[in-house]
Amino acid sequence: MCALLEGARPLFVFMPPQHDHSREWARRLSKDVPELEVVAPESFEEAARLLPQAVAAFGTIPRELLALAPNLKWLQAPAAAPPAGYYYQELVEHPVIVTNFRGIYNEHVATHAMAFVLAFARGFHRYIPLQLKHRWQPEPEHSGVVYLPEATALVIGVGGIGAEIARLCAAFGMRVVGVDTRRQDMPPGVTRLHPPDVLDSLLPTADFVIMTVPHTPETEGMIHIKRLQLMKPSAFLINVGRGKTVVLKDLIKALHEGIIAGAGLDVFEEEPLPPDHPLWNTPNLLLTPHVAANGPYLNERRYSIILENARRFVSGRELINVVDKSKWY
């Protein structure tokens, strides 16, 4: 990448549409990495004129515009797991290196997942509907509670978010089992770590199945009716990863028929969830509108990754958070 610095300054393009934070990032990056020429075009027409000279970019590049960027070496994705369709075939085959924002949401998403665990463990999925009906109906003293020190959490996807979920679950005394495609070391709190090919044998052992995996060709629809039927009738499914990893029609069936005890979802196959979607009227279900990652300091963390990689890029060093484009993460 050092060769890119010979002659004119390398061009970094913040792809439209622009927002206040992207305009601010462009201004800051121009000052913090003066070796780069940083531009933030307001229209795709303007971006199309700039891309033939660009060596780096931030955001989403439509398929037709990628064809105009033969010199592009680095693309910073706008999320840790961009929406379906971001990694189209032409981008996968292009020599550009893609990086993402993984690692900045860990404690926010993990706390959200743990909120679901605690809510189910204490019966909130039963008491919230009763509150809306103005009904005082406590469960018997020795029922309706999951005693966490005797419960098992199966965390599917033990990256940064999954590892933090494991740590929190362990802090409540839970036994934590992890499933991950790449991780070899066991993070704090995880008692056993397995590859995905043994998932079916693990599902019957879990009281909470917690999904953190991204949407990839391998994970799409990985939780379907057959796997829901492998879970305990007393178990809960929690998904804070990506919506397309769970087949929602199968989950709705499982909840209506009592195949599992409940589910907590922050992500969905279709977002926003339509007002007439059957999930709204599904029993023993807690929903939040894709807000698990919300929290303070996110934009500063995003800029820190852009800045670190920009400095590495101009000095010819290896970038951080590099994506395997063929796997989408």
pLDDT computed for residue 135 by the predictor: 97
Domains of the chain, first to last: 2-103+296-315 (3.40.50.720), 106-287 (3.40.50.720)
CB 51 within 8 A of CB 65: yes
CB 321 within 8 A of CB 298: no
pLDDT computed for residue 241 by the predictor: 97
DSSP for 252-292 reads HHHHHTTSSSEEEES--SSSSPPTT-GGGG-TTEEE--S-T
Looking at the DSSP assignment, which residues form a beta bridge with residue 56?
12, 74
The span from the CA of 59 to the CA of 76, in Å, is 6
pLDDT computed for residue 20 by the predictor: 97
CB 76 within 8 A of CB 307: no
- DSSP-derived pairing of the beta strands 236-239 and 262-265: parallel
CB 224 within 8 A of CB 250: yes
pLDDT in tens, the chain (329 residues): 434 445 589 999 999 999 999 999 999 999 999 999 999 999 999 999 999 999 999 999 999 999 999 999 999 999 998 888 999 999 999 999 999 999 999 999 999 999 999 999 999 999 999 999 999 999 998 888 999 999 999 999 999 999 999 999 999 999 999 999 989 899 999 999 999 999 999 999 999 999 999 999 999 999 999 999 999 999 999 999 999 999 999 999 999 999 999 999 999 999 999 999 999 999 999 999 999 999 999 999 999 999 999 999 999 999 999 999 999 99
Vertex 247: Cα angle to 125 and 175 (nearest 5) = 55
Give catalytic status of residue 112 as yes or no: no
Give catalytic status of residue 277 as yes or no: no
CA 168 to chain CA centroid, Å, is 18
- Distances in Å between the Cα of 33 and the Cα atoms of 8, 9, 20, 302, 304 are 14, 11, 20, 16, 12
Q: Which of 271, 300, 317, 318 is catalytic?
A: 271
pLDDT computed for residue 40 by the predictor: 98
Give catalytic status of residue 141 as yes or no: no
Burial class (CB in 10 A: 0-12, 13-18, 19+), 148: buried
Q: Running DSSP on this structure, what letter comes out for residue 223?
A: B
What is the SS3 assignment for 94?
Answer: coil
56: left (phi over 0), alpha (psi -120 to 50) or beta: beta
Tell me how crowded residue 286 is: count the other CB atoms within 10 A of its CB. 18
DSSP for 126-191 reads HHHHHHHTT---PPPTTSS---GGG-EEEEE--SHHHHHHHHHHHHTT-EEEEE-SS--S--TTEE
pLDDT computed for residue 83 by the predictor: 85
Q: What is the largest CA-CA distance in the chain?
A: 77
What's the token pair of residue 211? 């999904």
DSSP for 32-56 reads H-TTSEEE--SSHHHHHHHGGGEEE
3-state class percentages of the chain: helix first, strand second, coil last, to nearest 5: 40, 15, 45
pLDDT computed for residue 5 by the predictor: 41
Q: Which of 194, 277, 290, 312 is catalytic?
A: 290
